[in-house]
Amino acid sequence: KLHYIYEVYNRKNKNFEVYSREINQNKGTFASPKKIFTSKGKVQRTYMNMAGVIAVSSLYALTAQPRFDIITSFNKEKILIRYRNVPEKKRDAVNFDILGFQVFDQDMKKEWGKEVKMPYTEKDMNNLTFGVLGNGNAFMIAQKNQDKKLELFTITDAGLKITPLDISGDYYFMKINLNEDTDGNLICAGLYSEDGVDIKVSVGGFGSGGISYNTNGFVYFKMEPTGKVLAFKDYEFPLELIQQYVSDRIKKRAAKREGKGKAGIEDLKLVEMINQKDGSTVFVCERQYARSEMWGTDTKTVYHYYNIVVMKVSADGELVWVKKIPKNQAGVNGTGQMSIKYIEGDGYHYVLYVDNPKNLNIGIDDAPATHKDGLGGFLTACKIDDETGKYEKHTVLDMRNIEEKVAHQFSVTRIYEASVEDQIFMMEAYLKNKKDAMIKIELK
């Protein structure tokens, strides 16, 4: 089933109401809205810069994240809606976050919901990831900032349970992703940096400075829901991969860092983590950053969504393959129509994005041509073979000519999976004059 979930702010009660509308995939129509829960108070919108670092406010941020984070279990039978209440106190050193956890079945019937006060102050902890199991239990992993140790938080209708994890605190993580595998274990992975965050004071920065994150590799570990660690692996990106589909300047900088043992892919973010039925895991990453640059005749903050890195790890934790997919998107209106949409297929993985057609068949030593956000472009589908990692790219449609109409206000988040077996997707686009179109896409 496919559900459209959205929020409505209640000014009188100063809280949020969350609604669900089921989508008829054959007709492309919406069912009547159904209210599924109401928050106890105001919900915080999280602002992040392109390195993935939470910003103090929208003034210092580059991307605004949704107030409500939607997470599904491995078997798709449970849905977790997670959120953070507006802090009671402004100072991180004294404020204890209150996080909301609402769990539903696949028909969007509520199973349980709770708002939980965190055991440490904002200053003392970093929330790295959240997840939900097929039994409806919610999980999160937190890192204590003083000793960098990781802890597993189990959240149920009965309350909160904390379990320390036997994992080194030497890694600097921006974020960890957490999913359930076929055996009910927790699969966790995160991109790491040996240097942490680089603060760059230069022409390319956020106001007076810039933030960059040199990703050296990623960490993978498997554990039981009790917190017992079953496997732990550390994968370092090879220089050969780092230097694919980038400019000569970046190649030289990577080679120089490699001499110090610190070569990496700058500003890489883990955007999707997929646990498969055979116990293997697929990771989809994208390079995302922003800089103050010349855009036309003015200096503006330019948002970049660059190359994609896709990796597969076997059930026993061994790296099966890693591939880099070239693309280059830039714009000045936030995410806009940029970034990617991942859809899992039968034996294949699909990554969809708007791209410059010049990048369809470029060489591994070439840097991709830029697609400027909002200026046409072609919706591109990259089909990746799950067994080998070999991929092929297909041009799906011209964004300026959708049945002789131009798609406005398009976002890749408006692409939905309709039928994996038949390789059918649905895409919502605004065509002006208060008209939306639901477009059916079938890949051959």
216 touches 192 (CB < 8 A)? yes
| Mean pLDDT to the nearest integer, 418-432 | 74
Give the dihedral sign, CA 250/255/260/266: positive
pLDDT of 202 higher than 90: no
Q: Encoding tokens for residue 106?
A: 């696949």
Q: In angstroms, rounded to a whole number, what is the distance separating the alpha carbons of residues 125 and 213? A: 20
Give the pLDDT of residue 426. Answer: 80
| Mean pLDDT to the nearest integer, 282-300 | 91
Q: Encoding tokens for residue 146?
A: 């003083």
Give the pLDDT of residue 405. Answer: 61
Higher-confidence residue of 414 and 357: namely 357
Give the dihedral sign, CA 160/54/164/228: positive
C-alpha dihedral (380, 74, 440, 350), degrees to nearest 10: 20
pLDDT of 27 higher than 90: no
pTM: 0.77
pLDDT of 7 higher than 60: yes
C-alpha dihedral (245, 249, 251, 252), degrees to nearest 10: 170
Q: In angstroms, rounded to a whole number, what is the distance separating the alpha carbons of residues 359 and 362? A: 5
15 touches 36 (CB < 8 A)? no
Give the pLDDT of residue 197. Answer: 62
| Mean pLDDT to the nearest integer, 92-102 | 95
Q: In angstroms, rounded to a whole number, what is the distance separating the alpha carbons of residues 265 and 342? A: 21
Give the pLDDT of residue 206. Answer: 41
Give the dihedral sign, CA 165/309/439/410: positive
105-119, 165-179, 221-235, 413-427, range with the lowest pLDDT: 413-427
pLDDT of 359 higher than 50: yes
Residue count of the chain, please give it: 444
The DSSP letter of residue 76 is S
pLDDT of 171 higher than 50: yes
Higher-confidence residue of 201 and 76: namely 76
pLDDT of 231-254, one tens digit each?
999 999 999 999 999 999 999 999
Give the pLDDT of residue 393. Answer: 93
Give the pLDDT of residue 182. Answer: 82
122-136, 147-161, 195-209, range with the lowest pLDDT: 195-209
| Per-residue confidence band for 200, with pLDDT thresholds at 50, 70 and 90 | low
| Mean pLDDT to the nearest integer, 276-289 | 92
Higher-confidence residue of 409 and 161: namely 161
Q: In angstroms, rounded to a whole number, what is the distance separating the alpha carbons of residues 125 and 122? A: 6
What residues does each domain of the chain span? 1-132, 166-325, 341-444
Q: In angstroms, rounded to a whole number, what is the distance separating the alpha carbons of residues 438 and 28? A: 6
| Per-residue confidence band for 207, with pLDDT thresholds at 50, 70 and 90 | very low
| Mean pLDDT to the nearest integer, 193-214 | 57
Give the pLDDT of residue 325. Answer: 98
Mean pLDDT of the chain: 86
Q: Encoding tokens for residue 395?
A: 């041009």
pLDDT of 320-333, one tens digit each?
999 999 999 999 98
pLDDT of 385 higher than 50: yes
Higher-confidence residue of 432 and 178: namely 178
pLDDT of 162 higher than 60: yes
SS3 313: strand
SS3 248: helix
Give the pLDDT of residue 440. Answer: 80
Q: In angstroms, rounded to a whole number, what is the distance separating the alpha carbons of residues 163 and 74? A: 22
Rg (CA), the chain: 22
Give the pLDDT of residue 444. Answer: 66
Residue given tokens 């409806």 in the structure block: 136
| Mean pLDDT to the nearest integer, 130-145 | 92
